[in-house]
Amino acid sequence: MASEEPGWELYRTFLGVLNEGSLSGAARALGLAQPTVGRHVAALEKALRLALFIRSPQGFSPTDAALALRPYAEALASTAAALQRVAASQDEGVRGTVRVSVSDVIGVEVMPPLLARLRRDHPGLVVELVLTNRVQDLLRREADIAVRMLRPSQESLVARRVGAIELGLHAHADYLARHGTPRTEADLARHTLIGFDQETAFVRSLRKALGPLRRESFGLRTDSDLAQLAAIRAGVGIGFCQVPLARRDRLVRVMARRFSLRLDTWITMHEDLRDSPRCRATFDALVDALGRHIAAP
C-alpha cells in the first residue's frame, strides 16, 4: 500500500459509486461534482494499488477487491455517522440525533405514538428510524438502539428484556364467515394461507412451531411482514400476526393451542451510550412502549 493513508472522503465516494453504480449517480447522492467523484475513485485505487471498478458504458461494476472492501467501508461510514450524532448532542438536555433500528411491524404499528410522545417531551431530539428485519450491528454503530427478537450475545451491549411477543394464526371475521373456521390441520390445508416466500434462517428456527406449514402451503407468499398483516386485515386468508395487534384490530385467532410462537423482545444499545441523555430517554421510552404493547389486553 502507499505510505499515505487514504482519507475518509475517498472511502465515502467509493461507497457512493458502489451503491449507485455510476459516477453521475454517486455525484448526485453525495452532492459532489462528477469529476470530483472520478478523482476520488482514481486516488483510492492508486493509494490501495487495486482496481476497484470495471468501467463500461453501462456504468461501474465492482471488482472482487471492491466487494471485499465494502463491509469495512460501511463500518467507517457507520462510525462517522455515529460521531456526528454524538457531537450534535453534547449540549445539556435531551437533544441531538438517535438512530433506532426496529422491525417493519414494530416500526409501523407500535412506534408512531411513541415518536409523538418523544417529540412532544423532547423537541430537541431527532429520531432516525431504521425499519429492517436485519439485525443491525450496534458494535459498528449502524444504530444507537435496536429492538431485537433474540437475546444479544455481545458483552459490550446494554440489554433489557421487555417480555415475549406472542404470534398466532389469525383471520378477518369476514373471511371465516365465508370459508369456515379451521379446527384441525386437515381443515387448515383447505384454506388460503398467508406466509413467507424465502425460507430464511429465522424461519428455519421456527420450523417446529410451524409444524406442517411450508412455503408450498401458502396461497399468498411474501417476505414482507407488513404485506402479510395487510392481507390478513383485508380478508385474504389466514396468517401469523402478533396477538396484541390482532386484539387491537379484532382479528379472530384460530387453532391457538396448535400454533403459538413466542418471541423474546430485547431493547439494546452500546454500553458507551448508557450515560447519553438522548439515548437513555429513547431507551426508556421504548421499554415502556413495548412493555405496554406486549401486555395489552
Confidence (pLDDT) at 92 = 60
Report the b/e string of 138-154 with b at 16+ CB within 10 A: bebbbbbbbbbeeebee
Local confidence band at 278 (pLDDT 50, 70, 90 cut-offs): confident
Alpha-carbon distance of 138 to 131, in angstroms, equals 15
Q: Extract long-range pairs of 26-34: CB within 8 Å, 24+ residues apart.
A: none
Local confidence band at 1 (pLDDT 50, 70, 90 cut-offs): very low
**Other Cβ atoms within 10 Å of 283 Cβ, number:** 22
- Give every CB contact of residue 120 below 8 A, 6+ residues apart in sequence: none
In this structure, of 78-92, 151-165, 262-276, the range with the lowest mean pLDDT score is 78-92
**Other Cβ atoms within 10 Å of 219 Cβ, number:** 13
Are 168 and 253 spatial neighbours (Cβ–Cβ below 8 Å)? Answer: yes
Are 181 and 281 spatial neighbours (Cβ–Cβ below 8 Å)? Answer: no
Confidence (pLDDT) at 227 = 96
* C-alpha cell read off for 110: 407500535
Report the b/e string of 84-121 with b at 16+ CB within 10 A: ebbeebeeeebbbbbbbbbbebbbebbbeebbeebeee
At residue 166, the 3 state secondary structure works out as strand
Alpha-carbon distance of 66 to 61, in angstroms, equals 9
Q: Where do the domains of the chain lie, and which CATH numbers do they carry?
A: 8-86 (1.10.10.10), 91-163+264-295 (3.40.190.10), 165-262 (3.40.190.10)
pTM beyond cutoff 0.85 = no
Cα angle for residues 166, 171, 173 (degrees, 5° grid): 130
Q: What are phi and psi of 148, to 5 degrees?
A: -125, 150
Alpha-carbon distance of 150 to 135, in angstroms, equals 10
Residues 39-55, mean pLDDT to the nearest whole number: 90
Alpha-carbon distance of 100 to 269, in angstroms, equals 9
Between 134 and 263, whose confidence is greater?
Answer: 263
The pairing of strands 53-56 and 59-62 is: antiparallel
Predicted confidence (pLDDT) per residue in 72-103, tens digit: 888 888 777 767 766 655 656 788 889 999 99
Confidence (pLDDT) at 4 = 67
* C-alpha cell read off for 150: 433474540
Per DSSP, what are the bridge partners of residue 263?
Answer: 165
Predicted confidence (pLDDT) per residue in 97-155, tens digit: 899 999 999 999 999 999 999 999 999 999 999 898 766 555 566 788 999 887 776 66
Predicted confidence (pLDDT) per residue in 186-235, tens digit: 999 999 999 999 887 777 777 777 878 888 999 999 999 999 999 999 99
